[in-house]
């Protein structure tokens, strides 16, 4: 419906003083479909109301469109399998036309996803030059699929959002030309207190993030990020995590490069960190080194409490990590025990059964009942399919065996790390405990 009941009254001898009724543009509810993307967008009624009041007939465009209010809404919709949340826009819109400029300005309030996401915006676009800019501010939005009305996202993304808030602010500049639109953002997003479960196998607790997206003049997009978390649990918990990164990518998103300036976490009583990591998605292989300090053997032995192993000592080492298309791998890492060594005690029913099954194994089991080592070295190899090989070399003695004679002991262990982590998650009820915590 266009210009329904519009009336203008005035004196033809004084065209600079006339009065007009409200100008209304109304679009009734409609749906838009795109069969190529299996998309269905459902629009509620849209209304643009302008209140000219007293106007100048010689400048009719500015007079009619200088004081308008826009109200429009997109109801819950679908884009292929993905849900599109409801979005409403309300606020003043103004059109200015003169010899020097032709521009549209708007100050719109945007509410989306059941009103949980709220933005205040101010937009200006120059119709002559094609230049425009928008300032925006996002107030704290709850990170909860149910509260956002996006329950389908849990299955589509394998992410269960349990807790957290998202906020941000910034501006976006653009330039329209025959070659398209050049967009230059300068904005920041902040997430606080995020708790989630990914793929029913990884839990994140107490995570925070600061993201800044910019685009230097005529350059690639640049995303600076600082991410920290109190806990990440995949079966063995990592705590006190921190990463600072910079990511660069072109406008067509064809590739990306990541520089990790700092990354560290606490694990098994020790610390893991990498001083510098560079990743380029265009390369078939990327590699970097990971340093391990002060890993406590007592906590490593406690991972499988029923194994009957007790140990003391500290481990340091370096792991070369290689990232391939198939997944991460460690071709050959090494761990070493710190002086003065420690003690390994292995005694349970399975150890006694092994000792009786084979004489050489029996000697090893007898030795490990109270093995006091002064040197320990472990070689580590890991494959993308989760297969892990540990080659352990001990030097020490058991004072209760073979008159305490110095002994060298070599042990090789092969198992699938992914299967082990899954069994630890199940045994410790990791997922259920986190879900209960946030209910």
Mean confidence (pLDDT) of the chain: 89
In this structure, what token pair is assigned to residue 191?
A: 């997430």
At 352 the pLDDT is 62
CA-CA-CA-CA torsion sign (177, 182, 186, 191): positive
Asked if pLDDT for residue 304 goes beyond 80, the answer is no
- Model confidence over 3-18: pLDDT tens digits? 777 787 888 777 778 8
Asked if pLDDT for residue 39 goes beyond 60, the answer is yes
**Is there a contact between 148 and 154 (Cβ–Cβ < 8 Å)?**
no
Interacting residues of 132 by C-beta distance below 8 A, sequence separation 6+: 123, 124, 125, 126, 173, 174, 175, 176
b (16+ CB within 10 A) / e for 69-80: ebbbbbeebeee
- Model confidence over 69-83: pLDDT tens digits? 999 999 999 999 999
159/153 Cα distance (integer angstroms)? 7
Other Cβ atoms less than 10 A from the Cβ of 145: the count is 20
At 175 the pLDDT is 92
At 6 the pLDDT is 76
At 12 the pLDDT is 76
Phi, psi of 216 (to 5 degrees): -60, 160
**For the chain, what percentages of helix, strand and coil (3-state, to nearest 5) are there?**
15, 60, 25
User: pTM score, two decimals?
Assistant: 0.84
**Is there a contact between 361 and 354 (Cβ–Cβ < 8 Å)?**
yes
Asked if pLDDT for residue 229 goes beyond 60, the answer is yes
- Which carries the bigger pLDDT value, residue 106 or residue 357? 106
**Is there a contact between 110 and 92 (Cβ–Cβ < 8 Å)?**
no
Q: Which of 194, 103, 113, 192 is nearest to 151 (CA)?
A: 113
Preceding peptide of 241 cis, ω within 30°: no
Least confident stretch, 5-14, 41-50, 382-391: 5-14
Asked if pLDDT for residue 426 goes beyond 80, the answer is no
Average pLDDT of 19-34?
Answer: 89
277: exposed, middle or buried (C-beta count within 10 Å: 0-12, 13-18, 19+)?
buried
- Model confidence over 94-127: pLDDT tens digits? 888 776 678 899 999 999 999 999 999 999 999 8
Asked if pLDDT for residue 351 goes beyond 60, the answer is no
Average pLDDT of 404-433?
Answer: 84
434/50 Cα distance (integer angstroms)? 53
At 415 the pLDDT is 84
Average pLDDT of 406-416?
Answer: 88
b (16+ CB within 10 A) / e for 229-240: bebbbbbbbbee
Distance of CA 375 to the CA centre of its chain: 42
CA-CA-CA-CA torsion sign (416, 422, 428, 433): positive
At 233 the pLDDT is 93
435/195 Cα distance (integer angstroms)? 10
- Model confidence over 136-184: pLDDT tens digits? 999 999 999 999 999 999 999 999 999 999 999 999 999 988 888 889 9
Kindly indicate the confidence band of residue 353, based on its pLDDT and cuts at 50, 70 and 90: low
Kindly indicate the confidence band of residue 224, based on its pLDDT and cuts at 50, 70 and 90: very high
In this structure, what token pair is assigned to residue 435?
A: 């879900």
């Amino acid at each position: 419906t266009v210009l329904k009941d519009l009336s203008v009254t005035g004196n033809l001898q004084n065209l600079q003083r006339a009065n007009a009724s409200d100008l209304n543009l109304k679009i009734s509810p409609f749906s838009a479909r795109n069969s190529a993307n299996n998309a269905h967008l459902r629009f509620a009624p849209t209304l643009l109301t302008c209140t000219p009041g007293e106007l100048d007939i010689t400048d009719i465009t500015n007079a009619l469109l200088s004081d308008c209010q826009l109200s429009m809404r997109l109801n819950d919709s679908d884009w292929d399998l993905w849900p599109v949340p409801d979005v409403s826009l309300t606020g003043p819109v103004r059109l200015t036309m003169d010899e020097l400029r032709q521009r549209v300005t708007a100050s719109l309030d945007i509410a989306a996803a059941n009103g949980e996401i709220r933005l205040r915006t101010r937009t200006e676009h120059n119709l002559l030059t094609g230049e425009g800019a928008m300032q925006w501010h996002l107030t704290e939005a709850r990170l909860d699929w149910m509260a956002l009305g996006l329950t389908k996202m849990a299955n589509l993304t394998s992410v269960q959002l349990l807790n957290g808030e998202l906020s941000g602010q910034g501006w976006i500049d653009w330039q329209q030309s025959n070659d398209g639109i050049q967009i230059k953002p300068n904005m920041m997003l902040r997430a606080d207190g995020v708790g989630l479960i990914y793929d029913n196998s990884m839990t994140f607790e107490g995570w925070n993030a600061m993201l800044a997206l910019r685009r230097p003049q005529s350059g690639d997009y640049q995303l600076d990020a600082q991410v920290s978390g109190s806990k990440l649990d995949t079966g063995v918990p990592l705590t006190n995590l921190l990463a600072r990164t910079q990511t660069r990518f072109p406008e067509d998103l064809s590739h990306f490069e990541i520089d990790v300036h700092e990354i560290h976490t606490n694990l098994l009583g020790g610390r893991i960190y990498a001083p510098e990591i560079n990743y380029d998605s265009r390369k078939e292989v990327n590699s970097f080194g990971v340093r391990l300090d002060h890993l406590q053997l007592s906590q490593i032995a406690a991972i499988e409490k029923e194994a009957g192993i007790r140990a003391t000592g500290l481990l340091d080492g370096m792991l070369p990590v290689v990232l391939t298309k198939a997944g991460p791998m460690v071709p050959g890492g090494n761990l070493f025990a710190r002086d003065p060594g420690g003690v390994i005690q292995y005694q349970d029913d399975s150890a006694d059964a092994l000792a009786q099954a084979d004489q050489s194994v029996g000697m090893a089991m007898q030795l490990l009942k109270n093995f006091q080592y002064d040197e320990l070295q472990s070689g580590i190899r890991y494959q993308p399919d989760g297969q892990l090989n540990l080659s352990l070399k001990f030097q020490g003695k058991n004072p209760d065996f073979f008159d305490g004679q110095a002994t060298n002991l070599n042990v090789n262990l092969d198992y699938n790390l992914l299967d082990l982590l899954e069994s630890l998650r199940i045994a410790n009820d990791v997922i259920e405990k986190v879900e209960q915590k946030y209910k």
